[in-house]
Structure 1
Amino acid sequence: MKYSNIQKATFIKRPNRFIAEVEIEGQKEIVHVKNTGRCKELLIPGAEVWLTAPGTPDRKTKYDLVAVRKSNGILFNIDSQAPNKVVKEWLEKKDYDLIKPEYTYGDSRIDFYMEKAVSRERYLKEDRILAGKQSLGENSISEKERFLMEVKGCTLEVDGIGYFPDAPTERGVKHIYELIKAKEEGYNAALAFVIQMDGVKEVRPNIETHPEFGIAFEEAKKAGVKIIFYTCHVTSDELVIVGMT
Structure 2
Amino acid sequence: MIYKNIKEARFINRPNRFIANIEIEGKSQLCHVKNTGRCKELLTPGAKVFVQESDNFKRKTKYDLISVYKGDMLVNIDSSAPNKVFYEWLTDSDIKEDILFVKPEAQYKNSRFDFYIETAKSRGFVEVKGVTLEKDGVALFPDAPTERGVKHLNELIDARQNGYAAWIIFIIQMQKVSYFMPNEAMHKTFSDALKAAQKQNVDMAALDCKVTRNSIMIENHIKIKL
For residues 209 and 177 of structure 2, the distance between their equivalents in structure 1, rounded to whole angstroms, comes to 8
* Contact kept? 1:195, 1:201, Cα under 8 Å: no
What does 1:24-173 correspond to in 2, within 5 Å? 24-70=24-70, 72-93=71-92, 94-95=96-97, 96-118=99-121, 145-173=122-150
Aligned residues: 218
* Contact kept? 1:154, 1:203, Cα under 8 Å: no
Identity of aligned residues (%): 52
* Contact kept? 1:194, 1:230, Cα under 8 Å: yes
For residues 57 and 203 of structure 1, the distance between their equivalents in structure 2, rounded to whole angstroms, comes to 41
Q: Secondary structure at the match of 1:60?
A: coil
For residues 159 and 5 of structure 1, the distance between their equivalents in structure 2, rounded to whole angstroms, comes to 33
Q: Give unmatched runs, 5+ long, in structure 1.
A: 119-144
Q: Give the alignment's TM-score, normalised by structure 1.
A: 0.86
* Contact kept? 1:97, 1:117, Cα under 8 Å: yes
Q: Secondary structure at the match of 1:240?
A: strand
Match of 2:8 in 1: 8
Match of 1:123 in 2: none
Deviation at 1:28, TM superposition (A): 0.1
Q: Give unmatched runs, 5+ long, in structure 2.
A: none
Matched to 2:66, the amino acid is V
Matched to 2:138, the amino acid is I
For residues 38 and 73 of structure 1, the distance between their equivalents in structure 2, rounded to whole angstroms, comes to 21
Q: Give the alignment's TM-score, normalised by structure 2.
A: 0.94
Instruction: Pick closer, same or farther for the CA change 1:91–1:73 going to 2, 3 Å.
Output: same
For residues 147 and 11 of structure 1, the distance between their equivalents in structure 2, rounded to whole angstroms, comes to 41
1:23 maps to 2:26: no
Structure 1 stretches (4+) deviating beyond 3 angstroms? none
* Contact kept? 1:201, 1:231, Cα under 8 Å: no
* Contact kept? 1:50, 1:66, Cα under 8 Å: yes
1:218 maps to 2:195: yes
CA offsets, 1:105-153, max 9 Å, x none?
11111001100113xxxxxxxxxxxxxxxxxxxxxxxxxx102110000
For residues 85 and 178 of structure 2, the distance between their equivalents in structure 1, rounded to whole angstroms, comes to 17
Deviation at 1:201, TM superposition (A): 4.8
Pairwise CA RMSD of aligned residues? 1.1
